[in-house]
Amino acid sequence: MLTISINYILSLTCIIFFIGLIGIVLNRKNILIIIMSIELLLLAVNLNFAAFSIYLDDMIGQIFILFVLTIAATESAIGLAVITVFYRLKNSIQLDPIRKKITKKV
Amino acid sequence: MYLLLVFLSIIGSCLAGLFGRYLGSWGSAIITTSCLFVSFLISLFVFYEVALVGCVVYIKLATWMSSEVLHIDWGFMFDSLTASMCVVVTFISFLVHLYSTEYMSHDPHLPRFMAYLSLFTFFMLILITADNFVQMFVGWEGVGLCSYLLINFWFTRIQANKAAIKAMILNRIGDFSLLIGIFLIFINYKAVDYATVAVLTPFFKAKSVNFLNIDVNLLTLIGIFLFIGAVGKSAQLGLHTWLPDAMEGPTPVSALIHAATMVTAGVFLVARSSFIYEHITHVLEYITIIGALTAFFASTTGLVQNDLKRVIAYSTCSQLGYMVFACGLSNYSVGIFHLTNHAFFKALLFLGAGSVIHAVNDEQDMRKMGGLKNLVPFTYSMMVIGSLALIGFPFLTGFYSKDLILEVAYGKYTLLGYFSYFLGTLGAFFTAFYSTRLAYLTFMSKPTGHRKVICYAYDSGPQISIALGCLAIPSMLVGYYTKDMIVGVGSHFFGTAIYVNSQNINIFDAEFISTFYKTLPVKLSLLGVISAFILYNFQSNLLFKIKVSNLGKKIYTFLNRKWFFDKIYNEYFGQFFFKFGYSVSYKFIDRGIFEILGPTGLSMIALKVGSSLHKMQTGYIYHYTLVILIGATFLFGIRQVWLLFGFFIDYRLFILIFILAFFIINSLNDKKITE
């Protein structure tokens, strides 16, 4: 049986997680990419759960994965719905227009 | 009755000061003058009982302060020193009151003036009758305050205001050091009354105390500080500049301040503290030097002053120098003797000057008088008596004390003795010169005043004449009658009031100095009189040539500007303190540090921090996410950081960082403003 050390898997999930984070932070324009990055974060977490579930030989991790998948699907569905409504209002899905004007007065 | 002597004057002062409006000018004048007259009569009785019969009186009135070891009584001690001072003070003060009733009769504020004069006398009596240093300090401050009020009597004149403030401040410098002296006495002796201090002093001879991180002999320290107090009050060299300026007040005030009361307090203090000074001969040496220098300085300055009153003021300064160096040479009784004699003839001179000024329509410049000999003959004769007494004309009052001072100075047979003898003798020459100059310019020269003024010059009225006449008699006779009693060889007059170490007594040596040096002061004085008379009467062209010659001009300026003391004080001390007050204590500390750390700074920084935190909410989602990320990382990491570095961090550093943050934010703000 091909065995891989859990460390590699954890590093992989970490890397995926950070790619997701950087995607959120560095992305300045597109909301779709943010939702994709959030999916990436959730996937990294899922992979982590899976790895630990196998490593620790525990079922709860896999059950958790199923829940997370469900929540992730609903979340992206709602997010896409928000984006479409937003697109209908603003005719773009750029991030900048969300920003309110800050009153300079203190 | 003894208490009545002291308190009559304050009763008169309160009546005249508080109810002057109802009593009217004459009422308040009569009340205060009669109070002083009664107190003069009582003081004569006191003098008889205490000084002549020899019963020292001590009255403990009440306890003033009593806390732990500090115990101060309102005590009144009458020994021969106090009694003789009392007679002088009340006598001069009574005559000054009497004189003022006429001199100030046209002034609308006569009740106030009389009230101040009486208050002044009261504080002076408190000063001399006190039995402890603290009560003496009450009188000491009181006469300072009253001198302020009296110099500033014509308060609408800016010069009077300035002179009064100057007198007050220069006196405060002396008072400050006197206070330090009293504190030192209390800390070490645990008592402030003269009797205890006098008894304990020999035990402290070798004791040294730590003062400003320097170990100094206790008695030296006390002696120096008490003497600086005396320097301020007696206008000795260094703190003398207030005295000539104090001429801005009315003339009776000058007579009171400069003859009998205030300036004598310094000499009185030195004589009263003789039990301390006798153990510290090196401080006595400094006192001698200062006194001799003052005597010389003031007499040279008096030579070229043109203001009638200023000449007499410098003469006072000079005579005080004589008294002080007499005390410095351990001849306290001689100093006090000169003090009493000086009080009479200097009061006579001042009051005579007031009479002259009255006659010539308030003109004080001697160059604009002249020829008053025939117009005010009575004042003229009184002034001549005063001047002759001042220059030590043989067998007048000044002769007995001044020559004795110079004799005992020479009879010391030390370098300092010779130093003070020669400075004093030269001073005597100059004194004679300027006294003659004063008399000549005022009375004998051709009239130089305005025609309208000179034509209406007339002798003053009865009160002024009585006062002058009453002063002229003791000016002539007091020295002759009391010399053997007060300073005679083996006289027991002062008893225990003045302590002189037996090693320092040189009254016997003074008897045996050579005749040349004994008579030198008198010869020089007479030479001064004659030379001044000849120079001003026949050789005024020569004098003028000397004055406008190159060297003469420099010397004249130097003397006329009072050795540039005022200039130095104004430019170096006055300017420095004004600058310090504005740029350091106001701009740097008050508006600087306190503003940044105080409430204004705190509120400003809270606002600034709030606004900068508010700026962090940009509205960009990616910024928020970044902050969230950093925050989460920080929270996870902080525990690790604490485990690693917690050992090295000092909590107290946070206070420093906090204060530094104030300055940093403030400076950033300033930079932003300047940009």
Q: What is the pLDDT of residues B637-648, one digit of tens each?
A: 888 877 887 777
Determine whether the interchain pair B625/A25 forms a contact, defined as Cβ–Cβ distance below 8 Å.
Answer: yes
Whether residue B553 sits in one domain with residue B627: no
Give the distance from residue A50's alpha carbon to the nearest chain B alpha carbon, in angstroms: 24
Determine whether the interchain pair B629/A27 forms a contact, defined as Cβ–Cβ distance below 8 Å.
Answer: no
| Minimum CA–CA partner of A96 in chain B | B620
| Minimum CA–CA partner of B611 in chain A | A106
CB of A21 less than 8 A from some CB of B: yes
Q: How many CA atoms lie within 13 A of B73 on its CB side?
A: 15
Residues of chain A positioned with their CB less than 8 A from the CB of B606:
none
Domain boundary among the residues B535, B564, B593 is at B564
Strand runs labelled E in B502-562: none
Whether residue B414 sits in one domain with residue B284: yes
Determine the average pLDDT of the residues in B259-274. 89
Is the pLDDT at B439 greater than 50? The verdict is yes
Q: Check residue A2 and give its pLDDT.
A: 65
Whether residue B634 sits in one domain with residue B557: no
Whether residue B662 sits in one domain with residue B520: no
Residues of chain B positioned with their CB less than 8 A from the CB of A34:
621
Q: What is the pLDDT of residues B86-129, one digit of tens each?
A: 999 999 999 999 999 988 888 888 999 999 999 999 999 999 99
Residue by residue, DSSP assigns B580-594 as IIIIIIIIIIIIIIH
Full-model pTM? 0.81
Q: Which of A24, A96, A98 sits opposite B625 (nearest CB)?
A: A24
From the list B290, B442, B273, B456, the residue with the least C-alpha distance to B364 is B442
Q: Average the pLDDT over each of B132-141, B162-171, B267-276, B660-669 and give the range with the smallest value.
A: B660-669
Q: What is the pLDDT of residues B387-406, one digit of tens each?
A: 999 988 888 888 888 888 88
Determine whether the interchain pair B618/A34 forms a contact, defined as Cβ–Cβ distance below 8 Å.
Answer: no
Give the distance from residue A4's alpha carbon to the nearest chain B alpha carbon, in angstroms: 29
Burial B624-653 (b: 16+ CB within 10 A, else e): ebeeeeeeeeeeeeeeeeeeeeeeeeeeee
Determine the average pLDDT of the residues in B330-346. 91
Give the distance from residue A36's alpha carbon to the nearest chain B alpha carbon, in angstroms: 15
Whether residue B278 sits in one domain with residue B398: yes
Determine whether the interchain pair A106/B611 forms a contact, defined as Cβ–Cβ distance below 8 Å.
Answer: yes
Indicate the angle between helix axes B332-359 and B308-328, nearest 10 degrees.
Answer: 180
CB of B607 less than 8 A from some CB of A: yes
Determine the average pLDDT of the residues in B186-194. 90
CB of B622 less than 8 A from some CB of A: yes
From the list B540, B322, B561, B358, the residue with the least C-alpha distance to B437 is B540
Q: Percentage of chain B with pLDDT > 70?
A: 99
Determine whether the interchain pair A95/B622 forms a contact, defined as Cβ–Cβ distance below 8 Å.
Answer: yes
Task: Indicate whether B304 belongs to any domain.
Answer: yes
d(CA B71, CA B63): 8
Determine the average pLDDT of the residues in B8-14. 91
Q: Which CATH architecture has domain A6-105?
A: Orthogonal Bundle (1.10)
Q: What is the pLDDT of chain A when averaged over all its residues?
A: 84
Give the distance from residue A38's alpha carbon to the nearest chain B alpha carbon, in angstroms: 12
Is the pLDDT at B242 greater than 60? The verdict is yes
H-helix or E-strand containing B58?
A: strand B57-67
Q: What is the pLDDT of residues B460-483, one digit of tens each?
A: 788 899 999 999 999 999 888 888
Residues of chain B positioned with their CB less than 8 A from the CB of A26:
622
Q: Which of B607, B614, B629 sits opposite A25 (nearest CB)?
A: B629
d(CA A7, CA A94): 39
Q: Percentage of chain B with pLDDT > 90?
A: 36
Whether residue B660 sits in one domain with residue B560: no
CB of B541 less than 8 A from some CB of A: no
Determine the average pLDDT of the residues in A31-49. 90
Domain boundary among the residues B548, B564, B580 is at B564
CB of A50 less than 8 A from some CB of B: no
Whether residue B638 sits in one domain with residue B529: no
Determine the average pLDDT of the residues in B567-578. 89
Residues of chain A positioned with their CB less than 8 A from the CB of B626:
25
Give residue B536's Cα distance to chain centre: 34
**Collapsing DSSP states into helix, strand and coil, what is residue B309?**
helix
Q: Check residue B40 and give its pLDDT.
A: 93
Whether residue B665 sits in one domain with residue B536: no
| Minimum CA–CA partner of A31 in chain B | B621
Q: What is the pLDDT of residues A66-97, one digit of tens each?
A: 999 999 999 999 999 988 888 888 777 776 65
Residues of chain A positioned with their CB less than 8 A from the CB of B611:
106
Determine the average pLDDT of the residues in B131-155. 92
Q: What is the pLDDT of residues B646-655, one digit of tens each?
A: 777 777 888 8
Q: What is the pLDDT of chain B when averaged over all its residues?
A: 87
Determine whether the interchain pair A25/B626 forms a contact, defined as Cβ–Cβ distance below 8 Å.
Answer: yes
Task: Indicate whether B579 belongs to any domain.
Answer: no
Whether residue B627 sits in one domain with residue B559: no
d(CA B174, CA B327): 18
Whether residue B433 sits in one domain with residue B318: yes
From the list B356, B422, B347, B440, the residue with the least C-alpha distance to B390 is B347
CB of A95 less than 8 A from some CB of B: yes
CB of B621 less than 8 A from some CB of A: yes
Determine the average pLDDT of the residues in B553-581. 86
Residue B60's DSSP bridge partners are B75
Q: Which of B619, B621, B622 sits opposite A102 (nearest CB)?
A: B619
CB of A34 less than 8 A from some CB of B: yes
d(CA B468, CA B475): 10
DSSP letter for A103, please: P
d(CA B201, CA B223): 12
From the list B336, B127, B143, B329, the residue with the least C-alpha distance to B246 is B143
Residue with the larger pLDDT of the pair B615 and A38: A38
Whether residue B549 sits in one domain with residue B653: no
CB of A102 less than 8 A from some CB of B: yes
ipTM above 0.90, yes or no: no
Determine whether the interchain pair B607/A106 forms a contact, defined as Cβ–Cβ distance below 8 Å.
Answer: yes
pLDDT-based confidence at B287, cuts 50/70/90?
very high
Task: List chain A domain ranges.
Answer: 6-105
Q: Which of B611, B614, B622 sits opposite A24 (nearest CB)?
A: B622
Q: Check residue A74 and give its pLDDT.
A: 93
Q: Are strands B214-217 and B208-211 parallel, antiparallel or unpaired?
A: antiparallel
Q: Check residue A98 and give its pLDDT.
A: 52
Residues of chain A positioned with their CB less than 8 A from the CB of B607:
106
| Minimum CA–CA partner of B607 in chain A | A106
Task: Indicate whether B286 belongs to any domain.
Answer: yes
Query: Would you give the end-to-end CA distance of chain A in angstroms?
Result: 66
Give the distance from residue B174's alpha carbon to the nearest chain A alpha carbon, in angstroms: 57
From the list B340, B328, B316, B307, the residue with the least C-alpha distance to B263 is B316
Task: Indicate whether B582 belongs to any domain.
Answer: no
Q: Average the pLDDT over each of A64-68, B205-209, B307-311 and give the range with the smallest value.
A: B205-209
Give the distance from residue B602's alpha carbon to the nearest chain A alpha carbon, in angstroms: 17
For testing the chain B interface, which of A22, A24, A83, A93 should be mutated: the one with the most B CBs within 10 Å? A24
Q: What is the pLDDT of residues B41-73, one digit of tens each?
A: 999 999 999 888 888 889 888 899 888 888 898
Domain boundary among the residues B518, B541, B564 is at B564
Whether residue B656 sits in one domain with residue B545: no
From the list B123, B117, B43, the residue with the least C-alpha distance to B84 is B43
Q: Check residue A102 and give its pLDDT.
A: 52
CB of B613 less than 8 A from some CB of A: no
Q: Check residue B610 and give its pLDDT.
A: 85
Q: Which of B607, B614, B619 sits opposite A99 (nearest CB)?
A: B619
pLDDT-based confidence at A106, cuts 50/70/90?
very low
Task: Indicate whether B83 belongs to any domain.
Answer: no
Q: Which domain holds residue B497?
A: 157-564
H-helix or E-strand containing B75?
A: strand B70-78
